[in-house]
Structures are given as structure tokens and as C-alpha cells.
Amino acid sequence: MSYVIQAVLSNPRHPECGQITIPFPIPTDQYDQTIEMIQAVDLGFSVKRDCVVDAVDSYYHVLGALKGTLVNVDQLDYLAKRLDSFCTGGDAQFQAMAHKLELTNVQDFINLTFCCQQATVITDFSDLEAVGRSHYLNLNGRSASTEELKNLDAAETAWLLIDGGGETVTPFGVVYDNGMELKQLYNGR
């Protein structure tokens, strides 16, 4: 897959124009050409949410919630770029928290990309050491000294997390939000 999101878009004011399929993020060298193609069907103007999402194809299955919503092409492009920058595990954190929060709005998905790294998602309970280390790092902004990690009883940390409750079971793993709040950091532009 050479895209993060592939969206089938249409113009709700002019359904006779048909649909257009766009891969996101839009490659920089194809951006102007892609926008011209979208604007030919009276879509893709920078500040208006003027496109209806008719279908979404993405590794991020939770983005299927965008189907039927109005979006802005630049916002979809920005969301795809944010998702494409995730490190290992970020995909599970994003999808599990989006599912838990029942997100359906592109702006909320974008805002989630700024804070979902605070959540802990367990997809494999067979390695409690790894779960504990990951949780410790999530609580500490993904940073810790070598000495801290060496002295960490990771299995105990995992057991404390699991025994503490507050989990939500999602199709993407068991998620603990760790007090994460969805803040409106992205202002829509």
C-alpha cells in the first residue's frame, strides 16, 4: 500500500459529477495536479468541508467512521501525514483510543494524533515485561534513562496496570487511557 488513506470522495451539491478516488498523503510533486483534478468537480477548496467521504481504504480501519461525513481535502492530507509519522505501536494506540472515544470527525482524529501516545494498549499479554516497559514509557513521555529502565520491575508495572482497572476492550487491543484527554490542538486549518 503506497498510501495511508485512500478516500472515495464526491460532491454532495453535484452528485452528477461522480466520485473521485484520492490517495493520501498527496505526494508533494503531485499536489497541485491533484487539487486541480478535485476542483474540476467543484471540490477541494482549502477552508471548506465540501467533500463527502463515500469510502475509505486504510490500514487504520477505525477511519471507516469517516464514511458519510463532510471533510476537507487538506485535513485528510494532514491526517494521513500525521499517521504516516507514527512509530511502532502508535497505530494501535491511535486506533484503540479512536474506537474508545467513538470518534467520527476528521478534526478529532487529527487531534488524537497529538495525544494518543499517552495511552497504553495491550495486544499481547504473553510478555508482561514488554507491557510494563511500554506502559512506563507511555506515562513518562516515551523517555526514560537506561538506569530507570534497568531498575524497573516491568512485570510488576504491568500487573499493577492490569489490576488497576480502567481498561476498555477494543478490536485493536485492550486500552488504558492513562488520563489522556482529547484536546483541541488542531484548529481546523
Q: What residues does 57 pair with on adjacent strands?
A: 6
Q: What is the pLDDT of residues 127-185, one digit of tens each?
A: 999 999 999 998 887 788 889 888 999 999 999 999 998 999 999 999 999 999 988 88
Average pLDDT over residues 61-85: 94
Q: What is the pLDDT of residues 15-69, one digit of tens each?
A: 888 899 999 999 999 999 988 888 887 776 666 778 899 999 999 999 999 999 9
Integer Cα distance of 149 and 143 in angstroms: 10
pLDDT score at 84: 94
Q: What is the pLDDT of residues 88-135, one digit of tens each?
A: 789 999 999 999 999 999 999 999 999 999 999 999 999 999 999 999
**Are 154 and 128 contacting, i.e. CB atoms less than 8 angstroms apart?**
yes
Q: Any idea what DSSP says for residue 27?
A: P
| Nearest one of 100, 103, 92 to 66, comparing CA atoms | 103
Per-residue pLDDT at 1 exceeds 60: no
At 21, list the grid cell. 478516488
Integer Cα distance of 37 and 51 in angstroms: 13
Integer Cα distance of 44 and 17 in angstroms: 14
Q: What residue has cell string 485492550?
A: 174
Strand 173-176 to 51-58 pairing = unpaired
Domain range list for the chain? 5-85, 88-189
